[in-house]
Amino acid sequence: MKKEINLLVTLDLAKEDRERIQSVSDGINLRVNHVRDAAAIPDEQWAEVEALYTGRILPDPAKAPKLKWVQFDTAGVDRYLEDLTRLSPEVTTTTMSGVITVQIAEYVVMTLLAMGHKVPLLRHYQAEKTWPDRQIRQKGLMPVELRNSTVGILGYGSIGREVARLLQPFAPKVLAMKRDVMHPEDTGYTPEGMGDPHGDLFHRLYPIEALHSVLAECDFVVVTLPLTDQTRHILNAEAFAAMKKTAYLVNVGRGALIDERAFVDAIRNKVIAGAALDVFEQEPLPVESPLWQLENVILSPHISWLSDKFADERLSLFIQNLNRYMAGLPLYNQVDLNKGY
């Protein structure tokens, strides 16, 4: 018997996007309601919804008794965990993990090269319209090459794996860290030819408990961890003290992974050499934040995910999951509420 579902999408979809979704099956009753508040959707509509494709809107569970699947258009759900726990245990939640990996990984490689080749210092000299003398220039501008360096990737999910893949031509030693070291493979969504689905591209894999041992070895540290109770402020004063004084840090995960007060002290006291931050504990970054004034720190306004291909890529993943849902197959990127991601 043909499966029929009522699918509600709260995102702004173009006509061709709606047609792509509808082409999956004529059993899909698609309704697009681009709103910013669950209350803007009529109760009678919520009462019939079986599948929801959304950015951040979740219903009152009592009003959506038929809901079985929620697909978010974000890779992380830490902001929505409290609301998700109110849903029925029978509701499956999935994310967009794997969609925005390439652009973020390219951002990471860009910042690694920029910091290693002293671009912030070069920009300072450019603003001053002068170069240091030859002796200072050779010492102060000596690059830290990725070749023969050690890069630690904290959080070996879809983004961390794509970083490892892009780093291969530079030939660094890659140390990866993930929660479950007994399963190095990636069972989530991975675009063909991307990432490290089988866990082949790192030199060693560590559990999260070995954080300080990993940090002590690294010339560059890339943070792509999810934000959970366990990882909040995981990069704190003790962690910075474990790092090399010549090491650089990149955070494209969540701002609260870093204790920003301890980070400011670490930069000012030269405990670490520099950093690139695309995420912050408070966004947008307040004008009074001391982060703005730090030397050897590259800041960007949470834009490492930006891509003109993002809309098409996220829809492609959703359609893959929709096909699997209609066929009764396991969905990609299922959220484990106990883990928080």
* Residues forming the active site: 254, 283, 302
How many CB atoms are closer than 10 A to CB 246?
Answer: 11
φ and ψ of 53, to 5 deg: -115, 115
Residue 27 gets the label, from left (phi > 0), alpha (psi -120 to 50) or beta, of alpha
d(CA 10, CA 34) in angstroms, rounded, equals: 5
Which one, of 308, 319, 309, lies nearest residue 17 by Cα? Answer: 319
How many CB atoms are closer than 10 A to CB 203?
Answer: 12
Q: Which residue has the tokens 């061709």?
A: 16
Cα distances (angstroms) measured from residue 179 to each of 154, 155, 184, 205, 245 = 10, 8, 10, 10, 27
d(CA 107, CA 224) in angstroms, rounded, equals: 12
Do the beta carbons of residue 103 and residue 305 sit within 8 Å?
A: yes
The distance from CA 59 to its chain's CA centroid, rounded to whole angstroms, is 25
